[in-house]
Structure 1
Amino acid sequence: MRLAMGFALITLFCSNSYADGYKLHPGTPTFQGKHFDIDIQEHCQEGEVTCPDVSYDSINKKTGARLHLKGRVMFNPNNYNFQGYIFDNGDYSYVLNPNHSKGTESVQIWNLNVFYKDKVIAFDEGIMQ
């Protein structure tokens, strides 16, 4: 019994250590949150406000789990102001948008909200590069 418990603790410690040291890629992620690093890439012509082709590549800093999604730019249909990004995955939606109540001119604070059927199930806050 002691041997099994010891083995389980060692395995848990090693898997956590592995995930904490894992990086999304060698460069700086677009979004650096407390729980997730995310790369966002728009695959549209520069200046296209309503870009429907955006990719989302993320890594969970705790578990090392990766997620790749396709999404689009969110914008205000009345004045075409940029509002962030939305990525759908079945009943789940991942929304990244700027937090205008925080940050400075040099640092942009963004929020990641994960929705399951219109209910927020996860949240992260970080810096957008």
Structure 2
Amino acid sequence: MKISILIVVAFIFSINCFANTYRLHSGLPDFEGQHFDIDVKVNCSEGEMECDDVIYDGINKKTGARLHLKGRILTNYYSHDFRGFEFKNGNYIYTLRPDSGASNDVSQIWNLNVSLHDKIIATDQGIMH
């Protein structure tokens, strides 16, 4: 009898675990989009604008597929102003940029664009924390 109760409790617990949505971790992701959550880690000195050591850890909220990429900070060629991040995965380029829309604070609305051979094939919009 005790084993049957234990099996039922374990079964109910496992169903509850699989019913939750896919997550990167218990905290908020850096980018929380409609379709993707992404953690961005910049492994360069603070204020360094020519940084080629940026890590992308992303998860597809629908499928749970994970992606780990290495990338760089994007800056304006002339003014060296921050423009976002770029990550490459073979021929695919993942670009995270602040939305250029009306009066957007850099820490608010961002866009993720996925390109293949200079053609955008997927987009997502979300909040950068």
Task: Please classify the TM superposition score into its range, dividing by the shorter chain length.
Answer: 0.7 to 0.9
> Which protein has the larger Cα radius of gyration, Structure 1 or Structure 2?
2
Task: Give how far 1:50 is off.
Answer: 1.5
Percent of aligned pairs with the same residue?
54
CA distance in 1, matches of 2:89, 2:38: 16
Q: Residue type matched to 1:117 in 2?
A: H
**One-letter amino acid matched to 1:120:** I
Aligned residues: 113
On the 8 A contact 1:20/1:61 being kept in 2, the answer is: no
Tell me how far apart the structure 1 counterparts of residues 97 and 21 of structure 2 sit (CA, whole Å).
27
* Range moving further from structure 2, 29-38 or 19-28: 19-28
Q: Which amino acid aligns with 1:70?
A: K
In structure 1, the partner of 2:36 is 36
For the residues of structure 2 that align with 1:19 and 1:122, how far apart are their CA atoms? 26
Length-normalised TM-score, structure 2: 0.81
C-alpha change, 1:78 and 1:114, in structure 2 (3 Å) is same
Q: Secondary structure of the residue that 1:122 maps to in structure 2?
A: strand
Q: Which runs of 5+ in 1 are unaligned?
A: 1-16
Distance 1:122 1:20 in 2: 25
Equivalent position of 2:4 in the other structure = none
Residues 1-129 of structure 1 correspond to what in structure 2 (within 5 A)? Answer: 18=18, 21-102=21-102, 105=105, 108-129=108-129
Q: Which moved more, 1:93-102 or 1:38-47?
A: 93-102
RMSD: 2.0
Question: Which whole-Å deviations, capped at 9, do the CAs of 1:30-81 have from their partners, x for residues lacking one?
Answer: 0000000000000001110111100000000000000000000000110000
